Amino acid sequence: MIGAGGVATVCAFKIAQNTHVFSQLMIASHHKAKCDKLADSIRQRGYKLPIETAQVDADDVEQLKQLISSYKPELVINLALPYQDLTIMDACLACGVSYLDTANYEPKDEAHFEYSWQWAYKDKFEKAGLTAILGCGFDPGVSGVFTAYAAKHVFDEIQQLDIVDCNAGNHHKAFATNFNPEINIREITQKGLYYEDGKWIETEPLEIHKPLTYPNIGARESYLMHHEELESLVKNYPTIRKARFWMTFGKQYLTYLDCIQNLGMSRIDEVTYEAPLADGSGKTVKVKIVPLQFLKAVLPNPQDLGANYDGETSIGCRIRGLKDGKEHTYYIYNNCKHQEAYKETGMQGVSYTTGVPAMIGAMMFLEGKWRKPGVWNVEDFDPDPFMEQLNKQGLPWHEVFDGDLELS
């Protein structure tokens, strides 16, 4: 596993709970101390899984190759940042090892994500007889598995898909992001995008919004955003005429976000800053700073939010389609309580809802249920064994048939 952040912590705990499938784990990240701390916290809870740790710069293919070829894993689980997807895929190919991640590739200097970069590896993985599983978190991830499950068991034809993601939790901080702040703010501040009648339609950032009602939570203002899984889902289910992604944000969060943008702190280009040297000499040196990366350094670490986080998340798919010639609606969702996630893993619900599916995807691969040469999105595999594990591993799902989707 590469990365030792919030999502990786949850994934490692879940791996340690499933030793009937996982026999050994290597945790490697930028800073070895973080990996050691994580391994210790797992041991302290009494789990017996053998865990090794290592330092690796995942931007460096040669370092990755050395690590992978010395440890010889069956699968590399990439829980670092989207910037590292391609270097890790290159190293996996060079070492003959399969690959899984939770977020699609994004270049550092451009807030732009799409699958084309990773889909371009399809032939190489196929020829090498290796499996690459893309986007195996909650959204992307479970959102695609839910859609595949609906296509397999509920509908003859899916016509409309709305993925709805609500975080009704409260971490009691003025402003914090629930996963890596840099990646999160890049995602939220870009233009919205949705699919209708064969075309992609762009909107201004967070321009379209409406209140949606979430189970056990109530109405929350929900904003249309571009989200990566829409790209693969409309390709894999060509009967879909309309596909959108909605996420809730509170008023306070949006006010802060607005200020951050207006102050230039969400910029991802470099600015020159005259900084004092740390040696106390009073001398200065010109350094290049990316404002958003600096902001990340002063914002609360998402990994530290868990202790005071209350409330829950609710993420699901609202689907409209045809069965036996008649129109039906279907809503499938999971609710996850932040405090329960924290008690089990020390992390809040957003890390939990991402780390658990990453472990299940790895489990599916190791058990041979999700294993075929090539580069795949989660909906390319059988959803049934994954759905069964969601219920067993802490993310149970619920269904509403022919209810009001609130979305036309």
Q: Report the interface residues with ligand NDP, using CB under 6 A.
A: 3-8, 29-31, 34, 56-59, 79-82, 84, 102-103, 137-141, 179-180, 183, 302-303, 354
- Taking the least distance from each CB to ligand NDP, the nearer of 29 and 334 is 29
- Taking the least distance from each CB to ligand NDP, the nearer of 181 and 321 is 181
Report helix, strand or coil for 261: helix
Q: How far is CA 198 from CA 195, 234, 239, 243, 327, in A?
A: 7, 9, 10, 10, 21
Which residue in 92, 116, 95 sits closest to 105, CA to CA?
116
Closest distance between ligand NDP and the C-beta of residue 354, in Å?
Answer: 4
Distance CA 233, CA 118 (A): 15
- Taking the least distance from each CB to ligand NDP, the nearer of 128 and 230 is 230
User: Which residues is 2 bridged to in the sheet?
Assistant: 28, 78
Closest distance between ligand NDP and the C-beta of residue 43, in Å?
Answer: 19
Closest distance between ligand NDP and the C-beta of residue 179, in Å?
Answer: 3
- Taking the least distance from each CB to ligand NDP, the nearer of 31 and 152 is 31
Closest distance between ligand NDP and the C-beta of residue 59, in Å?
Answer: 4
Contact 379, 136 (CB under 8 A): no
User: Which residues is 213 bridged to in the sheet?
Assistant: 219
Contact 309, 347 (CB under 8 A): no
- Taking the least distance from each CB to ligand NDP, the nearer of 58 and 224 is 58
Closest distance between ligand NDP and the C-beta of residue 348, in Å?
Answer: 10
- Taking the least distance from each CB to ligand NDP, the nearer of 102 and 118 is 102
Closest distance between ligand NDP and the C-beta of residue 33, in Å?
Answer: 8
Closest distance between ligand NDP and the C-beta of residue 328, in Å?
Answer: 27
Distance CA 193, CA 394 (A): 32
Closest distance between ligand NDP and the C-beta of residue 382, in Å?
Answer: 20
Cα dihedral 400→401→406→408 (10° resolution): 140
The neighbour count for residue 292, using CB atoms within 10 Å, is: 21
- Taking the least distance from each CB to ligand NDP, the nearer of 31 and 127 is 31
Distance CA 267, CA 182 (A): 10
> Judging by DSSP bridges, how do beta strands 284-289 and 271-276 pair with one another?
antiparallel
Contacts 24+ apart (CB under 8 A), 368-372: 370/131, 370/133, 371/98, 371/131, 372/131
- Taking the least distance from each CB to ligand NDP, the nearer of 128 and 166 is 166
Closest-by-Cβ residue to ligand NDP is 5
